[in-house]
Amino acid sequence: MKQDKIGIGLIGTGFARSAQAPAFQLCDGAELVAVCSGHYENAVKVASEFKIANACESYEQLLALEEVSLVVVSAPPYLHHPISIAALNAGKHVICEKPMAMNANEAREMTGLAATKPNQLSIIDHELRFNPTWRRMKELVDGGFLGDLHHISVTISSGFRHSAQRPWNWWSQKSAGGGLLGALGSHAIDAIRWMFGEIESVTSAVATMVPERKDPKTGEMKTNETDDYCSFLVRFGSQENRISHGVVMLSSLFASGGKNQITAVGSNGTLVLDGEEVLLGAIGYNHPFEEMSLADRAREISVIPDNVWARSFYHLARETVQALREGRTEIAHAATFADGLRCQEVIDSILRSEAEQRWINIGESEPARRP
């Protein structure tokens, strides 16, 4: 059903405040009508900053508002499942942050419910799919630029968790869904699947290099329960009796020099997505690289934070609002709940591989436990 105005409810005040609220305010036909947070005072501040009419004390209160038609779930991962289920049952459209859930069982339930509600949009916030240069790379891969895929490498590295003085919060809490693999590894997994095809199996090393972090409430050091480093190998499905491979390295420990990069090597050419938004390509042996990046007009908008995540979300927001105003619940390139489920299955397999020290086939059943 077509809608002139899309009322948006934000659940969360982190990325929702820094990137999502500014993006939606720039969308024709969108109105921020409600916000809630685990800390009510944060919801009040964001409501005041963005002139949002309703600062809610709970997500249940937000979902009860008739004027909210699209819910953006930007709470910590342990809340993604219950909030998304409640939002879909309340008749709302849903954008859920990544990782989709705490495990594949939760993601499977979310996906199953979404499948019964075809008139409601349900997507995962893998916003990099909406970045112009990332889309250009996918178009080149799909168009045969690489030829037969030989192998890929993906690096996501930064220093935002380098110091033990970086405060302990839900990022360090296993029960809240914290950790690098879910937060940024989910982006790597989704990008690999989107550009190169399904991951069939993985083997991994997952580690916690900074064992303690300072509790901001007490000033005491507290155990860091989640990963801050992960590397894993992937195997893709057979391509005419050939198996392609990939290697992924994730780290939040770089004191300096962190960088994000995707390199894809094929029988005809090579593509390098360097530093997130510079795309280089070369055809044949020992030929020079040519830049193939596309300009992003979001760079010219001062209220959009100067980072690839915020700029990409701006494009996701615009396409989402436009689709809903036109009565559409499918958006080209958007990550569906089914995509989120597959990504969660890969995450679960990576963790299982670390525990069992072997290759794991994605979706492989765990052995039955003795009573």
For 321-333, write each residue's pLDDT tens digit. Answer: 999 999 999 999 9
Q: Which among 264, 257, 6, 211 is positioned nearest to 120, based on CA atoms?
A: 6
DSSP-derived letter for residue 329 is: -
Q: For the whole prediction, is pTM greater than 0.85?
A: yes
- pLDDT of res. 242: 63
**CA 59/CA 40 separation, integer angstroms:** 11
pLDDT at 143 over 50: yes
Q: Which pLDDT tens digit goes with each residue over 341-353?
A: 999 999 999 999 9
Q: 6-128+302-335: which CATH topology?
A: Rossmann fold (3.40.50)
- pLDDT of res. 163: 77
Q: Which of 42-56, 209-223, 229-243, 294-308 has the lowest mean pLDDT?
A: 229-243
**CA 57/CA 79 separation, integer angstroms:** 15
What the block records as the tokens of 262 is 């995707």
Model confidence at 16, pLDDT cuts 50, 70, 90, reads: very high
Mean pLDDT of all residues in 288-315 = 96
Mean pLDDT of all residues in 13-25 = 97
Q: Which pLDDT tens digit goes with each residue over 65-85?
A: 999 999 999 999 999 999 999
- pLDDT of res. 158: 82
What the block records as the tokens of 276 is 């997130």
- Of 243 and 292, the structure prediction assigns the larger pLDDT to 292
Tell me the three state secondary structure of residue 319.
Answer: helix
pLDDT at 162 over 80: no
- Of 240 and 271, the structure prediction assigns the larger pLDDT to 271
- pLDDT of res. 255: 74
Strand order in the sheet with 335-336: 54-56, 30-36, 6-11, 70-73, 93-96, 122-124, 335-336
Average pLDDT taken over every residue of the chain: 94
Q: What percent of the chain has pLDDT above 90?
A: 84
Mean pLDDT of all residues in 134-163 = 92
pLDDT at 371 over 50: no
Q: Which of 93-102, 149-158, 252-261 has the lowest mean pLDDT?
A: 252-261
What the block records as the tokens of 341 is 């489920």
pLDDT at 370 over 80: no
**CA 147/CA 142 separation, integer angstroms:** 10
Q: Which among 273, 235, 238, 243 is positioned nearest to 140, based on CA atoms?
A: 273
Q: Which pLDDT tens digit goes with each residue over 211-254?
A: 999 888 898 999 999 999 999 999 997 655 567 899 999 999 88
- pLDDT of res. 241: 54
Q: Which pLDDT tens digit goes with each residue over 1-13?
A: 778 899 999 999 9
What the block records as the tokens of 301 is 């908008």
pLDDT at 368 over 90: no
Q: Which of 70-74, 132-136, 142-146, 210-214 has the lowest mean pLDDT?
A: 210-214
Alpha helices in the chain (DSSP H): 15, 21-25, 40-50, 59-63, 80-89, 104-115, 132-142, 180, 186-196, 308-325, 337-356
Domain 132-295 grouped into CATH 3.30.360.10 = yes
- Sheet strands (E) in the chain: 6-11, 30-36, 54-56, 70-73, 93-96, 122-124, 149-157, 199-207, 212-214, 221-223, 229-238, 243-251, 260-266, 269-274, 278-283, 290-291, 335-336, 360-361
Radius of gyration of the chain measured on its C-alpha atoms? 21
**CA 131/CA 154 separation, integer angstroms:** 17
Model confidence at 31, pLDDT cuts 50, 70, 90, reads: very high
Is residue 164 packed enough to be buried (19+ CB in 10 Å), middle (13-18) or exposed (0-12)?
Answer: middle
Alpha carbon 7 to its chain's center: 23
What the block records as the tokens of 154 is 């993906």
Asked if 192 and 135 count as a contact pair (C-beta separation under 8 A), the reply is no
* Residue ranges per structural domain of the chain: 6-128+302-335, 132-295
Mean pLDDT of all residues in 265-274 = 96
Mean pLDDT of all residues in 294-303 = 95
Asked if 262 and 167 count as a contact pair (C-beta separation under 8 A), the reply is no
Q: Which among 312, 315, 289, 323 is positioned nearest to 191, based on CA atoms?
A: 312
- pLDDT of res. 159: 75
